């Protein structure tokens, strides 16, 4: 646990330094120092505590279930920092924490599965929503006539991706740059859905987890396991695979946020995995 907090402290200071370099200088506001800041070491120590505490306060909200007892978090932290006698050994604390998180994640993802299934069951009854045999649901927002892509083609699209609670997790529209990609190298919901479209059309897809990122999700939790996804897709062009090689646009970085291009994202059991 000590290593965890030291790591957080280091990361906090790194980000603080990076922000100082990239942000415009702010007007310095003079404040009266508190009594404990009697020297540089005290000031540094207090600043470190504020940095660690500020970052930790944000990160702790991501604990599955969102429940914790802040007073005991602080007590455990100060006990470890001071080297005082603790109610748990470090080994037991690490194992207990890991087991708790694992079980809490299982409960949370199971709830996501039920939530997604309920959403899709209600959504398929809405006017204009069509359900395919695979379970993919779609709605035609802008109709168009013309050729449709094959799975072996590459396509050029603008798109936005949302969780069913409305959270936007990716958008080529926000980046201001359409994407070109092979249609058979993305999540199954996209491979199937985009083949229904003609150039110039815009569809809204409702993708069950079995056709998306499966039981594990993607993007370091940005797309939870069992998540049902919503995409708005505008098909801008079709290119045969051979022709597309010379114009292929690299998919956006997947480190910060997931997209349907995330080739590492697992599909659910029994479905085709993205390559």
CA triple 75-76-79, angle to 5 deg: 85
How many other CB atoms are there within 10 angstroms of residue 77's CB atom? 16
Query: pLDDT tens for residues 195-252?
Result: 999 999 999 999 999 999 998 888 777 888 899 999 999 999 998 765 544 343 333 3
pLDDT level of residue 11 (50, 70, 90 thresholds): very low
Q: Is 8 a catalytic residue?
A: no
- Co-location of 121 and 238 in the same domain: yes
Locate 193 and state its tokens.
């859905």
Question: What is the CATH classification number for the domain harbouring 201?
Answer: 3.10.50.40
User: Which of 91-100, 157-166, 254-263 bottoms out in mean pLDDT, i.e. has the lowest?
Assistant: 254-263
**Between 40-59 and 2-22, two packed helices, what is the crossing angle to 10 degrees?**
100
- The residue segments making up the domain with residue 192 are 114-244
255 in a structural domain: no
Question: Catalytic: which of 170, 223, 226, 230?
Answer: 170
Q: Is residue 184 part of a domain?
A: yes
Shared domain for 142 and 229, answered yes or no, is yes
Whether residue 170 is found in the same domain as residue 76: no
**Together in a domain, 66 and 123:** no
Are residues 128 and 195 both part of a single domain? Answer: yes
- Rounded to 5°, the CA angle 273-274-275 comes to 110
Do 24 and 74 share a structural domain?
Answer: yes
Q: How many separate domains does the chain show?
A: 2
Same domain, 150 and 230: yes
pLDDT at 31: 58
Instruction: Give yes or no: 170 in active site.
Output: yes
45 within domain boundaries: yes
Q: Point out which residues pair with 126 in neighbouring strands.
A: none
| Catalytic-residue membership of 206 | no
Whether residue 236 lies inside any domain: the answer is yes
**Rounded average pLDDT over 29-49:** 73
Of the candidates 45, 71, 87, which is a domain's last residue?
Answer: 87
Residues 82 and 159 in one domain: no
User: Catalytic one among 153, 179, 187, 205?
Assistant: 187
Confidence of residue 25 (pLDDT cuts 50, 70, 90): low
Contacts of 8 (CB under 8 A, 6+ apart): 52, 55, 56, 59
* 34 secondary structure, DSSP code: P
Catalytic residue among 159, 203, 205, 261: 159
Whether 261 maps to a domain, the answer reads: no
Residue 235 lies in a domain: yes
Answer yes or no: are the C-beta atoms of 257 and 229 closer than 8 Å: no
| Statement to judge: residues 190 and 233 lie in one domain | yes
Active-site option among 138, 213, 226, 261: 213
187 given a catalytic annotation? yes
Q: Is 234 within the bounds of a domain?
A: yes
Q: Is 165 a catalytic residue?
A: no
Q: Which of 138, 181, 205, 231 is catalytic?
A: 231
- Tell me: do 126 and 20 sit in the same domain: no
Whether 23 shows a pLDDT value over 80: the answer reads no
User: Has 68 been annotated as catalytic?
Assistant: no
Residue 180 belongs to some domain of the structure: yes
55 and 159 assigned to the same domain: no
Residues 131 and 82 in one domain: no
pLDDT, average across residues 251-275: 38
Q: How far apart are CA 226 and CA 48, in angstroms?
A: 39
């Amino acid at each position: 646990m000590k290593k965890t907090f030291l790591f957080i402290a280091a990361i906090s200071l790194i980000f603080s330094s990076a922000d100082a370099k990239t942000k415009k200088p702010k007007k310095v506001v003079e404040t009266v120092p508190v009594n404990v800041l009697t020297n540089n070491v005290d000031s540094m120590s207090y600043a470190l505590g504020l940095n660690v505490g500020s970052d930790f306060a944000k990160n702790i909200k991501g604990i599955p279930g969102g429940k914790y007892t802040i007073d005991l978090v602080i007590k455990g932290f100060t006990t470890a920092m001071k080297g005082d006698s603790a109610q748990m050994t470090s080994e037991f604390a690490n194992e207990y924490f890991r087991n708790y998180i694992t079980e809490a994640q299982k409960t949370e993802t199971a709830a996501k599965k039920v939530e997604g299934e309920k959403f899709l069951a209600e959504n398929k009854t809405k006017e204009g929503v069509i359900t395919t045999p695979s379970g993919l649901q779609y709605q035609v927002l802008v109709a168009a006539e013309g050729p449709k892509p094959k799975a072996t083609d590459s396509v050029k699209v603008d798109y936005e991706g949302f969780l069913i609670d409305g959270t936007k997790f990716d958008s080529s529209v926000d980046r201001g740059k359409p994407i070109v990609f092979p249609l058979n190298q993305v999540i199954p919901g996209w491979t199937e859905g985009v083949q229904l479209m003609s150039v110039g059309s815009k569809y809204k897809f409702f993708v069950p987890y079995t056709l998306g990122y499966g039981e594990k999700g993607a993007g370091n939790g940005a797309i939870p396991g069992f998540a049902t996804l919503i995409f708005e897709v505008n098909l801008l062009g079709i290119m045969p695979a051979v022709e597309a090689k010379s114009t292929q646009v690299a998919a956006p970085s997947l480190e910060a946020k997931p997209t349907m291009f995330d080739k590492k994202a697992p599909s659910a059991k029994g479905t085709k995995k993205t390559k």
